Structures are given as C-alpha cells and as structure tokens.
Chain A
Amino acid sequence: MTAYAPHRRPANPDLLLRWLQRSLLVLAIAALLFLFLVYLLYTAALLRFPFDYDQGEGFELWDAVLFSRGMWIYRDNASYPFYASNYPPLFPLLLAPWVRLFGPRLWIGRLWSFGATLVTGGIIFWIIYRETRDRVAALLPTLAFFASNYVYHIGPLFRLHTTMVMFGLLGVATMARVEDPHRGRRYLWLSLLFLLLAGYTKQLAFDAVLAAFLFLFLRRPRQAILYGIGFALVVGAIFLGLNVATDGQWFLNTIRANANPFQPGQALGIYRQWFGLHRVIILLALAYTLYTFYLDRITVYSLYFLIAVGKGALSGKWGAGPAYFTTAIVAACIGAGLGLGILRRWLRRQAEATDGRRRSLAQTGLVLWGLLVPLLFLYQARLNLHLPLTHPLTRPVARLLRIPEQAPNRFRQDYYDTVGYTQLGHLPTAEDIRAGWHIVDWVTNTPGPAWSEEAMFEIWAGKEVVTNPTQLYNLYNAGLLQTDEMIAMINRRAFGVVIFRAQFYPPPVLEAIGQNYDVVEHVPMNGFLYAILRPKPNP
C-alpha cells in the first residue's frame, strides 16, 4: 500500500492537461495578438505619413480628387496632363465625398483600407463561428489573417485591394446562405450586389464571382444560369456605359493597359513564398476542401479557396505581386477554421457514443486537438513574424527572439520580416517626413507644372498631377501611347522640376528628359533615393 504525506494529493492528470491546453492557447493568442499590435503600430505610422509610401497611393487619391470635381478618371494619356487611372471607379468614388470634406489627404484612404481589413476579419470570424459555434476555431484563423505578412503590408495603404477583398468576401458569404428557406432570395440579391461592387472595385474580384456562381450552379443550376445571365448583362451595361461616356478610354485604360507581359518564374516564386509563410492555414484549408469534396457537400468556401489559389498564377504579370494572394489567405483562414471546428464538433459527438472504444478514441482526439491546434497557430505566428526593431513596444520582443539588428537582405535595417527583402512594412520616420516636405518645396518653388513619379508632391504643392507613370509605361509597351505631345513639352522644358524614383516611364520619355534636364539633388526618403531634376540652362 502506498502512503502519501497527509498534506499532499496526487496530481489530477485531467487538470494538468486542461491547464496545458489553456496555456498553449493563451500563448498562441498572445503571439497572434502581438502581430495585430504591430499592424496597429504600422497603421498609426502610415496615417501620420503624408507622402506616398507605396508608389500608386497618390494616384488613387488623385482619382478621388478628380471624381470629387465631377471629372472622369479615364482620359487620353497622349494629352496633357497625360493622366488616366487603370482601375475601375468604385473605390475612388466611395472616397470622393471624404476628400471633398477633408481635402486630398492620404490618411482618408489608409483609414478606409484598414477598416476594410477589420470588416474582413470580422466576417471571417462570423462565418466560422456561425457554422461551428466554436470560438477557438473562429478566433485563431481570424487573428492569423491579421498576422499574415501580405495582409500587413497592404492593409493600411491607400490602395483598393483590401476593399475588393472585403466586397468579394461579402458576396461569397451571402451566397453561402442562398438555400435559407425564408431569406434565400434576399441573400442571393445581396450577394450579386456585393459581387458587382467587388468587380467594379478591382478586376481581380473574378475569383469571388466565379466561386459564388459555381456554388449556385452546384446547388441550383437553373437559377445560376438565369441569374448569371442577368448579372453578366448588368456588368456589361455598366461597362458599355462607362466606355461610351469616356469615349473608349475606359476600355483602353482598364483592360488593354493591364494586359502586361507574363513572367511564369515570378508567379512560381511568389507561390513558393506564399506557401512557406502560410503553410499551416493552407494545409488545414486543403484538408477542409478535400472533406467537402469527398465526405460532405462542396461549399462556396472550398470553391473560393481553390479559385483564389488558382488566381495567384496572375501574380506573374508585370506589376503584380504578393497582394494577389490576399483573397487566398482569407479563404485559407476560413477553410482552416471551418475544418477545425467541424473536426472538434465531430469528436465531441463521438465522445458521447455508446461504444466504449469509440468514446475513448474521441476523447483522445479532443485532447490532441486542444494541444496541437494552439501549437500549430503558434508556429503559424512564427512563420509570419514581422516587426519594427526600434519601436519601444517591439524592441524587447526583438531582443527576446534574438533578431539581429543588422542583416544583409533587409530593405531597412530597422524592420524585420520573414518575407526577407520587402519595401513595405517598415515604419516611416520623422526624417522621411522632413525629406518629403523638402521635395514638396522644390515643386512649390519652381514655376509651372511638375513632372513627378509620385503624386503627393504635386498634390501638396497645389499643382495638377501630371502622368501616371506605370500606366504610360504599360500603354507604351502595348503600342497604345502617343508620346509626341509629352516629349514636345519636355523638349520645351515646360516642367519646372522633374522628380524620379524608379523611372518607370517609356524609354523615349526618359531619353527626352535626359537631354533637357539635369539632376540637381538626390533626396533619400523612406528607403528610396529621389532624384530632383531641373531644366538644363539654355545654350
């Protein structure tokens, strides 16, 4: 007989196990919440930064400015100011009233985009929780969405991508309810509206549209064909209307200009990186997808996942990048959460079975679920680790994780990202802001219009935005741009100052500028080197 000391009790293994599960869960949530904190710090820094952080932001603001003045954003690029947008109109239209109210400020669109990611995260949680009633299965993938490096990089930018993702997800989530006996038709109409909004925010929303209609076809083929034709007619009518109203510039600038050269190696590289960074949620979502295909009914979410992953192939297009995988990350988070929730619900049911062996196996399964799931998401958080190295809130964590202060492959030494080299994610500094105002001074103090590769310098100087560089570059490469007028103006030295960063302009334009303008200063800002050029003195 074993004797115990009177003041000691044998340890309760169930209690220890539960404590371990809860501790791992707290650890996983803490790790993911830390990355959400980093996201908030990044957003706050960008809201304070008055210049282009990502090259296209100022041009999307300018689109909103033009709309607020009642002007079209699809114009003839061959005529001064040689500017047109290459995106559909909804995003700048939504922001135009706010620009009219607050003035042309980047924080408007950045706050909007950040809000769109919060809405997206909320929908992810709601979808998983509504289907599974499992808070843990819903919370961990939702936090994993915000932890994603790609979502972090583009979340609070004045770019339309996150708004497209939000509308697309709303379209998919409402289509999922199309078989509701009382409100099915209402959900269907809502879905069509959201999908239309998504498509006219950015052309890439076709993945949500395809997933939604394919799902409707699987469940109600006749309705899918009928509503599909109707949807196509509405989309087509808007398309034609825009093209007629803009004298053909809509089609030229949003379709033909976006048909850029395709580099398969670029797509493969991004696929590899995307998988490496998100392998936990991807594999869980894949398991869920296989479950729906072979053991249950195919859901709109498994279709959304497959089509969004397939769409990632378009990231091989010139000018495209990892942001093209944002929808796939959303879909993977949803699939992962649904899969985990369904698994735990099944294990719980099995744990109440009359068969002793099945009950015992299910209980073991539940224990393993409680231990492995937090560990998996802790691992996912580590895969996505990114943080500024000098901020007071993140510096202690960087030291704890022994992240080196210097490394050869970083864009900025004060920012670490498991992506490796990335031009996004670091926090702009007060020095960057001072440099930006110095460049604005050049634009303000030189007579005449400016030719700037980024729009914010012109906007702050109260001048017209001249050129949308990558749009001109793409149109020129497609043989769709007349450069005579712009080269004539450059030869006349009509522009008081030229500001370059990456020099993404048609080669004849660069040549003309080289012949007529001299570099007078280089200004480092936000990790890039801006060249200030002034007209050469007359011979």
Chain B
Amino acid sequence: MVTKRMAGIALVGLGLLIVVATIAVDLAGVGKWRGFGPSQRAAVAVGLAVLLAGAAMIPLGDRPA
C-alpha cells in the first residue's frame, strides 16, 4: 500500500527534477534563446509547487495515499 509519506517523497523528487531540468536547459545550451524566459520561470514555479506539495504530505506519515 502506498502511504502519504511515500507519495510526498515521490512528489518532492518530481518537483526537484522539473526545477533541475528547467535550469539545465540553459546550462546545456538547448533551444534558440539564451537567458531565463517566461516559460522557464513558469516551469520552475510548477516544479517548486510540486516540491512543496510533496513536502507537506510527508508529515502525514503512514496514512494510506
């Protein structure tokens, strides 16, 4: 059975992945445009929201997800 804590950890991981991948796009030089554009800002915001949502689930412990 998947618990709230497990789901929270998974969301934290997903959020981190989104944030890191969005920043890495610039570092790897992918795409036509340089600099941090509005789409990337939106993606980072989404990533942070997912990360925070996941972190808030972790204290719920062993309750079933």
A interface, CB within 8 angstroms of B: 217-219, 221, 264-265, 267-268, 293-294, 297-298
Contacts and interface: CB of A to CB of B under 8 A. Distances in A.
Contacts of B42: 264, 268
Interface string B46-65: 00000001001100100011
Nearest to A310: B46
Contact of A298 (B38, B39, B65): B65
A293 B2 CA distance: 13
B65 A268 contact: no
A218 B57 contact: no
A264 B42 CA distance: 10
Given A217-B2, A218-B2, A294-B57, A265 B65 contact: no
A298 B8 CA distance: 12
A293 B53 contact: yes
Given A293-B53, A294-B56, A294-B60, A218 B65 contact: yes
A304 to B, nearest CB: 16
Given A218-B7, A264-B37, 12 more contacts: A217-B2, A218-B2, A218-B65, A219-B2, A221-B2, A264-B38, A264-B39, A267-B39, A268-B42, A293-B53, A294-B57, A294-B60
Contacts of A217: 2
Contacts of A298: 7, 65
Contact of A265 (B1, B2, B39): B39
Given A293-B57, A297-B64, A268 B2 contact: no
Contacts of B38: 264-265, 268
A219 B64 CA distance: 8
Contact of A268 (B39, B53, B64): B39
A297 B63 CA distance: 9
A221 B64 CA distance: 12
A447 B42 CA distance: 55
Contacts of B64: 297
Interface of B: 1-2, 7, 37-39, 42, 53, 56-57, 60, 64-65
Contacts of A221: 1-2
A154 B60 CA distance: 42
27 contacts: A217-B2, A218-B2, A218-B7, A218-B65, A219-B1, A219-B2, A221-B1, A221-B2, A264-B37, A264-B38, A264-B39, A264-B42, A265-B38, A265-B39, A267-B39, A268-B38, A268-B39, A268-B42, A293-B53, A293-B57, A294-B56, A294-B57, A294-B60, A297-B64, A297-B65, A298-B7, A298-B65
Main DSSP-derived SS at the B contact region: helix
Contacts of B1: 219, 221
Nearest to B65: A218
A268 B64 CA distance: 35
Contacts of B53: 293
A188 B64 CA distance: 21
Nearest to B3: A218
A139 B20 CA distance: 43
Contacts of A267: 39
Nearest to A295: B60
A353 B7 CA distance: 34
Contacts of B56: 294
Q: Which A-B residue pairs are the 10 nearest by beta carbons? A: A264-B39, A218-B2, A218-B65, A298-B65, A297-B64, A221-B2, A268-B42, A268-B38, A268-B39, A293-B57
A221 B6 CA distance: 12
A320 to B, nearest CB: 15
Contacts of A265: 38-39
A218 B57 CA distance: 14
A217 B64 CA distance: 12
Contacts of B57: 293-294
Contacts of B60: 294
B21 to A, nearest CB: 14
B52 to A, nearest CB: 12
Contacts of B7: 218, 298
A267 B65 CA distance: 31
A292 to B, nearest CB: 10
Contacts of B65: 218, 297-298
A101 B39 CA distance: 49
Contacts of B2: 217-219, 221
Nearest to B59: A294
B58 to A, nearest CB: 11
Nearest to A217: B2
A245 B3 CA distance: 45
A217 B3 CA distance: 11
A294 B7 CA distance: 11
Nearest to A290: B53
A28 B1 CA distance: 43
A78 B57 CA distance: 54
A265 B40 CA distance: 11
A297 B60 CA distance: 11
A298 B64 CA distance: 9
A175 to B, nearest CB: 16
A221 B57 CA distance: 19
Contacts of A293: 53, 57
A264 B22 CA distance: 13
Nearest to A215: B65
A5 B1 CA distance: 70
B61 to A, nearest CB: 12
Contacts of A268: 38-39, 42
A111 to B, nearest CB: 39
B1 to A, nearest CB: 8
